[in-house]
Structure 1
Amino acid sequence: MQQLFHENYEHNRKGYIQDLHNSKIHTAITLHPNKRPAYQYRLHNYILSRKISELRYRTIQLHRESALMSKLSNSEVNKEDQQLGVMPSFNHFQPRERDEVIEWEFLTGKFLYTMVESQPPRQSLSSALRAALDDTVMQVMEMINENSRTRGRLIDFKEIQYGYRRVNPLHGVEYILDLLLLYKRHKGRKVTVPVRRHAYLQQSFSKPFFKEAEELDVSLLENTNTDTQSFAFLSNSLKIFSSSFQGTRNIGGRSDKKIHILVPLTGRFDIFSRFMDNFEKTCLIPRENVKLAIILFSSESGQDSSKHMQLMKEYSMKYPKADMTLIPMAGKFSRGLGLEMASAQFDNGTLLLFCDVDLVFTPDFLQRCRDNTIQGEQVYYPIIFSQYDPKIIY
């Protein structure tokens, strides 16, 4: 019951859980107390990261099963399965020259011994590496104790005696760990015995979720890694890519799909004037590939509508090649109705941006709209900051 209903009443902690990389946290169904929003956000973020890791691990398993079934059925293996469905092994990469050998780093529970140039041969374990080791060991122990109740035994982790690690940039992080464990048998004659076991582990990389829009300068990145202790372990691994990236070019590139900006509007001429001023700086002068459609609802007096039309006419005369249009609407202002009527004038494959007149945006925002929308699959909902005045910020 204590493991299912976890309670944390440490002195002066007020519900703050220092070590989240703990199997007790994963097996618990309630955590108490946990009342501060900052602590809740931290815990929620960690739980989501664990869920992402589990889904990635399951994805790797499915790729391996798919690759195996393709071989058994004597059919062609999917290209993605060829990369992600490879079974774990330390011999995937076969170096052709001495400089291509990925060197192992020796580690203990406190120190890391490395042969990387411009780095001290012995250094303390960084917080990132320590967290990675803790998370790796925790996953190993969860796999070992998965059926501990039926087997009548439980194995606890004590410490890492020593180990080796290296990063294979094509497949993942590889470990050889000498673990000191505590074997506990709780069925029959109870026995508690310390044991040592070697663990050969590989954390396989899953598929990439984003790619660099520009060509990667491997030599520059390698120099940066040698100067930065936190990323020094990548220096030797990047040598594999040095020959591959020479003379290559990014075939993906940045999307330049035309964005159709729809702005429903009534009154608020001063705000509209500010919007057009920002639109001029962001889109008209740089010649962004956009189309502006103002859905103008006529006000009761009609005075504001004439100002809007005159302002649009001035910008059209100033930028004759700009794609701008004004769609007049009658009746009471309705944002949803205006957007629906304007959207009906475009094809299904058109990239639409539903925008309010008080929004101030940048060219980078437009590019994010292109990059984060997938036709028929994904809609981009940006987070709008509305608690400050752009005049003060910019």
Structure 2
Amino acid sequence: MTKSISKYEETIEELSCYAPEGCGNIPWPVGVPSPFKPPTRFDVLRWDFFNETHIYLKTYNDVINSMDNDDYEDVHEVIDHAIEQLQKKYGMRLKLKKLINGYRQFDPTRGTHYIMDLSLIDQSHMEYIKRVELMRPLGLVEIIPMPFVTETTKVFLILPIYTDEQSIAIRFLRHVNKTLFDKETRDKFELLLTHVVTTKYELSQTQKWFDNLRHEVELIRRTRTQLTVTYHTVLLPSSSTITRYTHSTYILDFFETKLRSNSLIFLTNPYVNIESDFLNRCRLNVIENVQVFFPIGFYQYHPLIIMRTHHMTDNSTIDLHKSHGWFNSYAFDHIGIYMSDYLSLKKLISSTNISLSSINLYDLFVQLTDMNILRAPDQSLRVHYKSIKFMFCLNYINYFYLYKYNN
């Protein structure tokens, strides 16, 4: 096999002289496609720096990450292969002392490229430092069949609103009136305004609380006659550990009997501005029994921070600018899901000892199911700044770091 590969490499090198690039200009390694050429500076492929146990600057938000099992096996397999090749080349038995530097780059056209500086010792404890360059080519391309999806599926947009968020919900209605309501028909879209209460007193006042929202909806309906809006009230269990970041399961439990199992749901919050093209993307990205959708919204900075560098005259819109906000990958409050997939998840939850009050829906899907989870930035979700009280998110933060550490 090795002789056959060497023979093919020699043949390719000889034939390269007849190519437009001329002799000696074929990419390394021989037989692997040319490296990706970025059309702009925004498309330049990044290199990840690593040692034997950690990867540095793996994302824009993390400085250092412990290697997970897959990364660890990948890196040490490449190191072992490099040492094996060096032993064949120099005819001596070498042992790894330490990895000095390691760089890894994934090229979508050819595979993963590695450059490593290895400190090696021989049997007489003589130290050698060698730089090696390796390429793990992509395997055969496989076409994965996906179920058929359509843009005509009806979306049920559930908007949980706490008692102190009434004015925020009105701002939400005014914005989506400009972006969504003129494009969505009664058979493709329904808005479920959901008052989330935590006390019996709030529950007794809920009809009166809805008055301002009903008035706003009636004003909108004068021009949007096809709009369907329903009003609901959810009383959360009296548990101090339930937060606005872990209430999704309780809200979906409430709608379990009100919506059909094949209903497509998008669960969000009233601070978000949704642009006109988002719902069609939600319809295509959520696939029943196959994939759920957790888009990453663009979260606004505090307006006072923005005004230090940019003049703001109106806070009703959010500009997609690096000085105005960021794509918050730590937020999981925008959820596209079929009700049937949530019901399947509930069956798995019942066989575990997981406390729903201290975990979000995203982590439940990661831990308990093998469904695909689509997680990507979406510029059509722009979230207004809101002040977060530390006590509300304390349990969630503790869980997040505990889960990240254990995994």
User: What TM bracket, shorter-length normalisation?
Assistant: 0.3 to 0.5
TM-score between both structures, scaled by the size of structure 1: 0.32
| Higher relative contact order (Cα pairs below 8 Å, separated by 6+ residues) | 2
Higher radius of gyration, 1 or 2: 1
TM-score between both structures, scaled by the size of structure 2: 0.31
